Structure 1
Amino acid sequence: MNLSPALQQAIKEISSSQGISPEQFIVQTLTEKIGKLKQSNQTSVSQTGLKERDGILVFETESLNGIDFNELIAQSRQERDLEQMGL
């Protein structure tokens, strides 16, 4: 890795104070950060109803049987047209 001298010095000082090598400190720090990011991502995914199944993101919702998709598309187009006219 190509780290700035200031960052290298900070890593050296912190790792020394913890009694570990700079390499061990970097690995531990990255491992902790990746774990937190994964946990945060899983939390936000579960709150939105998104889940991963076999490498595909799936959005879980209530049944869509009662939705008239043609009406929904027509309404969306009408709203888009009004926005384009500045209304």
Structure 2
Amino acid sequence: MHAVSSPVQADVQTELDYWRAEHRRGQLGYYPFDGIPEGTIRAVCAAYNAHPNLTDAEAIKAVRDALCLTPGSMNAVLADWLAPRCLRHLRQA
């Protein structure tokens, strides 16, 4: 018999701490962290916990839906950039 390992659930606070540090280093531009970046990270974590095998495109859609973002808006552009990076960071954990 083979043991089946289930993906580790995303810890929202750990992700927020990581990305907050990235923000302090200037990696997220000039946006206030507790706006779109925090909402994006929370939405990606929720989507990942529900469906660990989601694609980058699915993560972006989940964020847009959760935050009601208009495609092409500055907030959507930031979320579209951050969502796949957050997803990759979750998978490295």
Query: Max radius of gyration: which structure?
Result: 1
TM-score, length of structure 1 as denominator length: 0.25
Structure with greater strand percent: 1
TM-score, length of structure 2 as denominator length: 0.23
